[in-house]
Amino acid sequence: MHSHTRGLGRVMVFLAAALASASLTIPEGWGQEGVQYGQLGTDVTLSCIGARTGSLVQWRRDGAMALPEGSAIHQGALVLPHTSLAAAGTYSCHDEDGSLLHAVSLQLGHLPGVPFVSCRASDYENFSCSWTSSLETFLPTRYITTYRKKSLTGEEKRRNKSGHVGPCLQDPARTGTCTVHRSEFWSSYRLNITEVNPLGSSFRLLDVTMQAIIKPDPPEGLVVEPVPLAPRRLHVSWKYPASWPKEPHFQLRFRLQYRPVIHRSWSVVETVNLSEVITDAFAGLEHVVQVSAKDFLDAGNWSEWSAEARATPVRDPATMVSEETTTDVSLESLAEEPSQAPNPEPINRSDPLENTAILVSLGIFAFFVLAAVLIIAILIWFRVRKHSKDKTKPHSFLVAATHLKALPSECWGREA
């Protein structure tokens, strides 16, 4: 009998605690002592715990008698209508003698909004998700982050009929992020990011596929060096990002962008190698270079650009001699006759190999033009010759025919 009574008492205590929690609308884990949470724009009731039923009580806010406009005391409880942020503060109730009966800190805010969520995989074994709140709630907030694999194998279905649900591990050092480890590159996952505050909760479900969210970290160790005796070349090398496991089946490809520092437009080349030679740099001008990476099979997105690296190609010795000569001549002319007019002759910074290639191209082009003209002339000559022959043939035939026609008349004349 005694044990039955103790069991019934425990049930009653549990029910009382549940009802108290429900009346304060505070989710589990938010029941801070001496703090009550309320929703902005609604009526909030503060109870005076310790007051005797029917006794008169006085309410104060932050020690002052002044209360928010429209406040009313009903059966010892203070009712605050249509609360705003200005109504927050520490409230205390006192008996007729002014003795303190109870004090409570009121914090006001909004229910959680649906969070904004995005996910990214920096390698093919793990992916991370980040989120931001869609609404400023003015209340302490927590996040519950879980994931579930959408496509299960037969063995996985037998082991867990409801589907595997695991935690997306949050990193205390990086607020608003969580990571799923040992994910499968060809699988799809459903993320559940739930925002919770003392007034309630709201969640976002996001389906992700590893191939779609893969985005490597930028390549590392970018080095740019001039090539000796090559005025228009720069040698560029880099390394895989440390976060990307270098496996035969999961390679990266790269794109390189470069430009002289005085120019705004970039030149871009793509490669699968860890080095590249720029062949069209401007001799003597400093260049800025960056590199980014993407999955070799074109899955996902390009990484961000790496940190900049700079280098200047060597100067062409012939150009340097030409410039020195031009400078000496200019100085001599200036000494003889000063002038403020700029030198109209541009400095020749062209590559000798490039000049040779241009001359060869012009020679080939001239050869084909001359050949075409010669062929056309020969064809015209043959056509004119043939036409003259065709005109000669009818004339000879008419002369012969006229001669033959004249013969019989002469013969007849002789007979007569």
pLDDT in tens, 177-221: 999 998 888 889 999 999 999 999 999 999 999 889 999 999 999
What domains lie within the chain, and their CATH numbers?
Answer: 35-109 (2.60.40.10), 116-212 (2.60.40.10), 220-318 (2.60.40.10)
For 225, the token pair is 């060096």
pTM: 0.61
Answer yes or no: are the C-beta atoms of 124 and 250 closer than 8 Å.
Answer: yes
Give residue 16's pLDDT band: very low, low, confident or very high (50, 70, 90). very low
* Beta carbons within 10 angstroms of residue 222's beta carbon: 19
Bridge-based pairing state of the strands 200-209 and 188-197: antiparallel
Distance CA 323, CA 331 (A): 12
**Number of residues that make up the chain:** 416
Distance CA 172, CA 154 (A): 36
H or E element at residue 161: none
For 326, the token pair is 């031009």
Find residue 145's DSSP bridge partners: 193
Comparing 104-108, 238-242, 314-318, 342-346, the range with the smallest average pLDDT is 342-346
Nearest to 47 by CA among 12, 77, 13, 10: 77
Find how far residue 274's CA is from the centre of its chain.
23
Q: How many CA atoms lie within 13 A of 183 on its CB side?
A: 37
- Where are the alpha helices (H) located in 234-281, listed in sequence order? none
* Tens of pLDDT, residues 329-369: 443 443 333 333 333 333 344 455 556 667 777 888 888 88
Distance CA 384, CA 390 (A): 10
Q: What is the mean pLDDT of residues 68-80?
A: 91
* Tens of pLDDT, residues 118-176: 999 998 889 999 999 999 999 999 999 999 988 665 555 556 555 678 999 998 888 99
Distance CA 225, CA 221 (A): 13
